[in-house]
């Protein structure tokens, strides 16, 4: 049986009750305090203190301070009145039991409500954090989509500009051919209308004589210009010495030609060693510029897959020509391969940024933009492989 403690002191004001309870040498860690609206209990074995309060208190705001072998309670009253006594008068055992049970049930309900409120607050915090993360991810996604859209528009504009330049070049060639045909036709008409020159009659070699005193009035032989007869038509066979250098001799220099031939020979040897699959190609098919023009013709005939193959081979031969990536991006755009189109367009932009970094390596803005483009290229490459 626990030993009930009856030694305590208390004071009050209209708003609060101050209760002081000695611990009798018991360790503070062993003290168990329970406080309800009408019931207060302190269990510090082997001692027990309980009191059935005179009037209800605000147990949520009431406080207990433990120290110096003493527990000091500050109990705030629900109604600001002075109590006649600390404990409720005329309380029997049944009433005490009911008050205890009621106080325990109220404490359990409050604890349950507090737990539910804490869980709801935690859930609300998680929902808010998730909403913030989703908003951040949405903003990042919009930025990436905007960058992709800008790259697509840029590639489309460059493609349209290239098509317009091709159209103008073809139009200029057509006009030039038409002018040449007209000039040739006019020259043929002028040649057909030119009258033929007829040979003049030769003067007589023997003149008639009249008597002995007749003298020839021509002291010298007449000199006249004679017009030759038209030449007969014919054909002349002309053969030219084949040249490896693509320009005329009058437009080239011997030193540059020899250097170019040396580089071509080195490229052929490197290609046969590093890329044996190119050994079966024709000589012109090993030229990136020829492959680019071939891809352009295939693109003009809407044979986009074959054009992509031509650009792929040209890029393998020389990956430093930005126009090859742009043309291949245009083919991918026509084939609806948007990720590959963005990847090729971004490679051209990345080459520009790398050139800028070589000029100004300490430029942080260019470094960040170049890193973003690298991430885009890697992301689009992974998506295209998937």
Whether the predicted pLDDT of 217 surpasses 50: no
pLDDT at 186: 85
pLDDT digits (tens, 9 = 90+) for 17-26: 999 988 877 7
**Mean pLDDT lowest among 48-52, 182-186, 367-371:** 367-371
With b for 16 or more beta-carbon neighbours within 10 A and e for fewer, the 58-74 pattern comes to: ebeebebeeeeeebebe
Mean pLDDT, residues 176-200:
73
Q: Which residues contact 370 (CB under 8 A, 6 or more apart)?
A: 350, 353, 354, 357
Percent with pLDDT over 70 in the chain? 75
Binned at pLDDT 50, 70 and 90, residue 231 comes out as low
What domains are defined for the chain? 3-89 (2.60.40.790), 284-378 (1.25.40.10)
32-35 vs 39-44, strand pairing mode = antiparallel
What's the mean pLDDT when you consider all of the chain? 79
Question: Are the C-beta atoms of 52 and 88 separated by less than 8 Å?
Answer: yes
pLDDT digits (tens, 9 = 90+) for 334-361: 999 988 888 888 888 887 777 788 888 8
pLDDT at 144: 94
Q: Residue 205 region, left (φ>0) first, then alpha (ψ -120 to 50), else beta?
A: alpha
pLDDT digits (tens, 9 = 90+) for 44-87: 888 888 899 999 999 889 999 888 888 899 999 999 999 999 88
Q: Which residues contact 377 (CB under 8 A, 6 or more apart)?
A: 343, 346, 347, 350
Mean pLDDT, residues 183-205:
63
Q: Which residue has the higher pLDDT, 241 or 185?
A: 185
**Mean pLDDT lowest among 35-39, 122-126, 244-248:** 244-248
CA-wise closest residue to 155 among 324, 292, 330: 330
Which pTM does this prediction carry? Answer: 0.35
Whether the predicted pLDDT of 328 surpasses 90: yes
Question: Are the C-beta atoms of 371 and 357 separated by less than 8 Å?
Answer: no
pLDDT digits (tens, 9 = 90+) for 276-325: 555 566 777 778 899 899 999 999 999 999 899 989 988 888 888 888 99
Question: Are the C-beta atoms of 41 and 48 separated by less than 8 Å?
Answer: yes
- Considering 41-55, 151-165, 224-238, the range whose residues carry the highest mean pLDDT is 151-165
Instruction: Give the DSSP letter string of 14-53.
Output: SSEEEEEEE-TT--GGG-EEEE-SSEEEEEETTEEEEEEB
Q: Which residue has the higher pLDDT, 220 or 327?
A: 327
Distance CA(312)–CA(357), nearest Å, equals 27
Mean pLDDT, residues 250-273:
57
Binned at pLDDT 50, 70 and 90, residue 263 comes out as low
Distance CA(106)–CA(222), nearest Å, equals 154
pLDDT at 343: 87
Q: Can you name the residues that pair with 35 across neighbouring β-strands? A: 40
């Amino acid at each position: 049986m626990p030993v009930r403690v009856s030694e305590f002191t208390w004071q009050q004001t209209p708003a609060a009750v101050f209760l002081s309870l000695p611990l009798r040498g018991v360790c503070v860690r062993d003290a168990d305090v329970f406080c309800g609206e009408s019931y207060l209990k302190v269990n510090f074995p082997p001692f027990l203190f309980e009191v059935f309060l005179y009037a209800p208190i605000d147990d949520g705001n009431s406080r207990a301070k433990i120290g110096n072998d003493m527990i000091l309670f500050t109990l705030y009253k629900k109604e600001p009145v002075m109590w006649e006594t600390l404990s409720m008068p005329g309380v029997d055992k049944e009433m005490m039991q009911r008050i205890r049970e009621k106080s325990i049930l109220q404490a359990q309900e409050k604890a349950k409500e507090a737990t539910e409120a804490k869980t709801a607050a935690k859930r609300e915090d998680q929902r808010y954090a998730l909403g913030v993360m989703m908003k951040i991810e949405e903003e990042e996604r919009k930025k990436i989509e905007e960058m992709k859209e800008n790259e697509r528009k840029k590639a489309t504009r460059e493609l349209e500009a290239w098509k317009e330049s091709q159209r103008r070049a073809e139009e200029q060639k057509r006009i030039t051919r038409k002018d040449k045909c007209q000039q040739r036709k006019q020259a043929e008409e002028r040649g057909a209308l030119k009258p033929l020159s007829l040979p003049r009659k030769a003067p007589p070699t023997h003149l008639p004589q009249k008597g002995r005193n007749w003298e020839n009035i021509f002291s010298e032989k007449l000199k006249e210009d004679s017009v030759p007869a038209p030449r007969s038509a014919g054909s002349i066979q002309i053969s030219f010495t084949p040249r490896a250098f693509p320009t005329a001799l009058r437009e080239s220099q011997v030193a540059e030609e020899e250097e170019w031939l040396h580089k071509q020979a080195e490229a052929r040897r490197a290609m046969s060693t590093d890329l044996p699959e190119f050994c079966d190609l024709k000589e012109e098919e090993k030229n990136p510029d020829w492959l680019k023009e071939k891809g352009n013709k295939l693109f003009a005939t809407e044979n986009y897959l074959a054009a992509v193959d031509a650009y792929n081979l040209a890029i393998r031969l020389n990956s430093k020509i930005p126009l090859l990536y742009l043309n291949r991006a245009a083919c991918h755009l026509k084939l609806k391969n948007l990720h590959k189109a963005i990847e090729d367009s971004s490679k051209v932009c990345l080459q520009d940024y790398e050139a800028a970094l070589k000029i100004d390596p300490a430029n942080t803005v260019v470094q960040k933009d170049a890193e973003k483009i690298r991430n885009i290229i890697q992301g689009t490459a992974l998506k295209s492989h998937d």
